[in-house]
Amino acid sequence: TGSNILSALQDLFWLLKSKAEKQLQIISVLQWVLTFLIMGITCTLILMYILCTDCWAIAALYLAWLVFDWNTPKKGGRRSQWVRNWAIWRYFRDYFPIRLVKTHNLLTTKNYIFGYHPHGIMGLGAFCNFSTEATGVSQKFPGIRPYLATLAGNFRMPILRDYLMSGGICPVNRDSIDYILSKNGSGNAIIIVVGGAAESLNCTPGKNSVTLKNRKGFVKLALRHGADLVPVYSFGENEVYKQVIFEEGTWGRWVQKKFQKHIGFAPCIFHGRGLFSSNTWGLLPYSKPITTVVGEPITIPKIDNPSQKDVDFYHSIYVDSLIKLFDKYKSKFGLPETEVLEVN
């Protein structure tokens, strides 16, 4: 009887622990989703409100610091290993789960540009793998400092900019990339989500397509700095949200493209699961596995002023390498052998 009671208590403890861990996973993902969607504008509004209260001096001091610190994001930011190693990111990883697969070693004597595909709705795999240590990027690629590049507009938002920089996130603009690849030594890897907002408009479960044919700026940057190109494909990135796709020529797609052109991002109509049930709609992504495979680096020569012919040549090599990477690992991560990567 005593052993039966002990066994029942152990089962109860395991059940409670399992439920607690699941709730922590949900909380960790929810805080990131809210950060992605509303943290920037919320912090801006709060700062403006404080300026109108008796505590205005606090907001004024922060604004003064903001002016002084304005160019820090363009110089590699201010990463914090403490923030990158927060336990919350491990719960974030386990919710899906997210996994990072290394296929080749990277030399610390070189710099790299990772092309991340596909964008998905929020780039959850890119964030977890390269802006946190949850999947062990520093252990798998020792001596390599990853910098995830995102919209420069995010770094104009108070508080949000500091939060992003703490994870090693930088603006995806020429000034920032030039600094990291030319004035920050070697062993740097800039992760660029090449398809950007245009690619996010077409992401939907069951579809593997990338926006890449006319995206050649990252290749030109690699040539100017002699940084090797590394194709990266994230299997499952498109599975975590469902999106309403507006076809070309519809009013919905016209609105999305106008936003993309003038603001830098495209508004998407999407949904995931609810907070308390996977059978309801909400902002939480579905808990589908995301596996990010880092491919073989492509050796790139340093050409100060690369011609269009040079850019086109290495771009074609990159596209071929990405397709080969996809074809090599697609069946291993749940896709049929007949699946073809669509390159737009």
61 vs 245, which has greater pLDDT? 61
Per-residue pLDDT tens digits for 228-253? 999 999 999 999 999 888 777 787 87
Q: DSSP assignment, residue 37?
A: I
Specify the pLDDT at position 2: 65
Specify the pLDDT at position 258: 79
Using pLDDT thresholds of 50, 70 and 90, give the confidence band for residue 45: very high
Specify the pLDDT at position 11: 56
Specify the pLDDT at position 15: 57
Weakest mean pLDDT among 13-17, 77-81, 96-100 = 13-17
**Measured CA angle at 342 (ends 336, 344), to 5 deg:** 170
For the cut 90, the answer to whether the pLDDT of residue 16 exceeds it is no
What amino acid occupies position 271?
H
Domain that holds residue 128: 2-343
Specify the pLDDT at position 334: 87
**Residues 92-98, mean pLDDT to the nearest whole number:** 97
What amino acid occupies position 317?
I
For the cut 70, the answer to whether the pLDDT of residue 191 exceeds it is yes
Q: In what order do the strands lie in the sheet with 228-235?
A: 98-102, 290-294, 228-235, 112-117, 188-193, 145-150, 169-171
Task: Output the average pLDDT for the chain.
Answer: 91
Please list the alpha-helical segments (H only) found in 167-282.
Answer: 174-182, 196-200, 217-225, 251-263
Specify the pLDDT at position 277: 82
Using pLDDT thresholds of 50, 70 and 90, give the confidence band for residue 7: low
- The DSSP H or E segment spanning 150 is strand 145-150
Specify the pLDDT at position 66: 93
Residue 338: which of 224, 212, 208 has the closest Cα? 208
Weakest mean pLDDT among 116-125, 132-141, 251-260 = 251-260
Specify the pLDDT at position 1: 62
What is the percent of the chain where pLDDT is above 90?
A: 76
How many domains would you assign to the chain?
Answer: 1
For the cut 60, the answer to whether the pLDDT of residue 295 exceeds it is yes
Using pLDDT thresholds of 50, 70 and 90, give the confidence band for residue 127: very high
Specify the pLDDT at position 120: 92
310 vs 278, which has greater pLDDT? 310
Specify the pLDDT at position 13: 58
52 vs 254, which has greater pLDDT? 52
**What's the pTM value of the predicted model, to 2 decimals?**
0.90
How far is it, in rounded angstroms, from Cα 152 to Cα 136?
27
**Residues 289-295, mean pLDDT to the nearest whole number:** 97
